[in-house]
């Protein structure tokens, strides 16, 4: 029986992605070969990666003067790679939690970092707003959704300098005005596919502005990856296949507008129950609450129920609720493939538990 999966990533994927990827593992398009066996230079795989790029662009309405690249290394490699390429002297970073901190620490290997806004003062429980963006920096870096703390920014900022966003955990969950960004990147393993492939959306003009007088290994040059059609080296073929299936699913469901509508519905239902249920408490300030990651903790004095509740949930086929070790309590990750029924099952579980204790 399929479980109600609330994992933070890797996470739940659509049934059609799982079914079609399973079939392709046995045989890709009557080719007599598995997607695991086929050459990445074959026309069968070329068709897969071409469609993945085209659908990624279509779903997010990405302008023509941008490339979509698929790489290895995760979003964590991008923390360093983007700074290696674009941080000449100084960059601005917004510090909204673990992942932005890691991103800025990697950037410090290559130049000066100015933290222009931070929510560290309140344990990252809000998303800073209205900060002033300096004009003397090479770029501004933000993390649009903070997977661990559950805060999110829903607007596409107007930035006087190139804007770079880590959208690992909210990509494809709302329409984005891509033209406001120089680069958007993330690990695929939340809303766009399985772990093992990293997406980069990069403006051509910005890509060309990469630092020329710094030694950058070939594999870490965006223009080399772009020129090679994301196949300068052997790409993660099966991950790109599953990503393509996820893009087909997003499109068939009604695109990112529909993903957004569902995300808002899930979030409102779950937050309403956390606020109603006397056993639990929210952690994130209103106005900053993520649609993708919903953390909640025990009401005072109830903490000893932790293991009991996790067991109670597991008996109801609900998995992935344990909060990140830095926050404690619980976190329900409600990415695109998480259904209203999954959320209803969790709410029912919280209500049944309230009656039981």
Tell me how crowded residue 132 is: count the other CB atoms within 10 A of its CB: 8
Tell me how crowded residue 1 is: count the other CB atoms within 10 A of its CB: 3
Between 38 and 84, name the residue whose CB sits nearer to ligand PMP: 84
- Convert 278-296 into a string of H (helix), E (strand) and C (coil): CCEEECCCCCCECCCEEEE
Contact in structure between 67 and 76 (CB atoms under 8 Å) = no
Choose the catalytic residue: 57, 101, 190, 203: 190
Query: Minimum distance between the CB of residue 280 and ligand PMP, rounded to whole angstroms?
Result: 23
Between 195 and 305, name the residue whose CB sits nearer to ligand PMP: 195
Tell me how crowded residue 300 is: count the other CB atoms within 10 A of its CB: 7
Query: Minimum distance between the CB of residue 150 and ligand PMP, rounded to whole angstroms?
Result: 11
DSSP label at 130?
S
How far is it, in rounded angstroms, from Cα 256 to Cα 16? 17
Which of 280, 247, 274 lies closest to 334 in space, CA to CA? 274
200 membership: H or E segment, kind and range? strand 198-203
166 an active-site residue?
A: yes
Contact in structure between 136 and 90 (CB atoms under 8 Å) = yes
Q: Would strands 145-146 and 151-152 be described as parallel, antiparallel, or unpaired?
A: antiparallel
Residue ranges in contact with ligand PMP by CB under 6 A: 9, 74-76, 99, 143, 147, 166, 168-169, 187
Between 76 and 306, name the residue whose CB sits nearer to ligand PMP: 76
How far is it, in rounded angstroms, from Cα 319 to Cα 347? 13
190 an active-site residue?
A: yes
Between 74 and 320, name the residue whose CB sits nearer to ligand PMP: 74
Between 280 and 324, name the residue whose CB sits nearer to ligand PMP: 324
Name every residue whose Cβ is closer than 8 Å to that of residue 167 and which is 6 or more positions away in sequence: 144, 145, 176, 184, 185, 186
Choose the catalytic residue: 12, 57, 156, 166: 166
Helices 255-276 & 340-356, crossing angle to 10 degrees? Answer: 10
Between 70 and 309, name the residue whose CB sits nearer to ligand PMP: 70
Contact in structure between 282 and 296 (CB atoms under 8 Å) = yes
Q: What is the CA radius of gyration of the chain?
A: 21
Residues with catalytic roles: 99, 166, 190
């Amino acid at each position: 029986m399929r479980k109600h999966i609330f994992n933070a990533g890797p996470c739940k994927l659509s049934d059609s992605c799982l079914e079609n990827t399973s079939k392709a593992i046995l045989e890709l398009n009557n080719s007599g070969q598995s997607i695991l066996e086929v050459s990445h230079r074959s026309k069968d795989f070329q068709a897969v990666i071409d469609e993945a790029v085209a659908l990624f662009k279509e779903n997010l309405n990405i302008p023509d003067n941008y490339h979509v690249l698929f790489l290895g290394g995760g979003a964590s490699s991008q923390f360093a790679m983007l700074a290696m390429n674009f941080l000449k002297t100084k960059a601005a970073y917004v510090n909204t939690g673990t992942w932005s901190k890691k991103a800025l620490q990697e950037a410090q290997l290559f130049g000066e970092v100015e933290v222009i806004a931070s929510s560290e003062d309140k344990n990252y429980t809000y998303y800073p707003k209205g900060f002033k963006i300096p004009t003397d920096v090479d770029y501004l870096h933000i993390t649009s959704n903070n997977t661990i703390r559950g805060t999110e920014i829903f607007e596409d900022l107007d930035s006087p300098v190139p804007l770079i966003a880590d959208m690992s955990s909210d990509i494809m969950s709302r329409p984005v005005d891509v033209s406001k960004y120089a680069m958007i990147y993330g690990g695929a393993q939340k809303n766009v596919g399985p772990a093992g492939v990293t997406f980069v959306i990069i403006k051509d003009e910005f890509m060309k502005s990469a630092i020329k007088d710094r030694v950058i290994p070939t594999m870490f040059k965006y223009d080399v990856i772009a020129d090679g059609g994301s196949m300068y080296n052997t790409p993660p073929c099966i991950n790109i296949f599953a990503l393509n299936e996820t893009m087909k699913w997003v499109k068939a469901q009604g695109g990112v507008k529909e993903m957004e509508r569902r995300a808002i519905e899930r979030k409102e239902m779950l937050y309403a129950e956390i606020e109603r249920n006397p056993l639990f408490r929210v952690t994130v300030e209103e106005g900053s609450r993520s649609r993708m990651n919903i953390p909640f903790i025990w009401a005072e004095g109830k903490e000893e129920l932790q293991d009991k509740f996790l067991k109670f949930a597991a008996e109801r086929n609900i998995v992935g609720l344990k909060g990140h070790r830095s926050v404690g309590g619980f976190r329900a990750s409600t990415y695109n493939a998480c259904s209203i029924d999954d959320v209803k099952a969790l709410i029912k579980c919280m209500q049944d538990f309230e009656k039981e204790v």
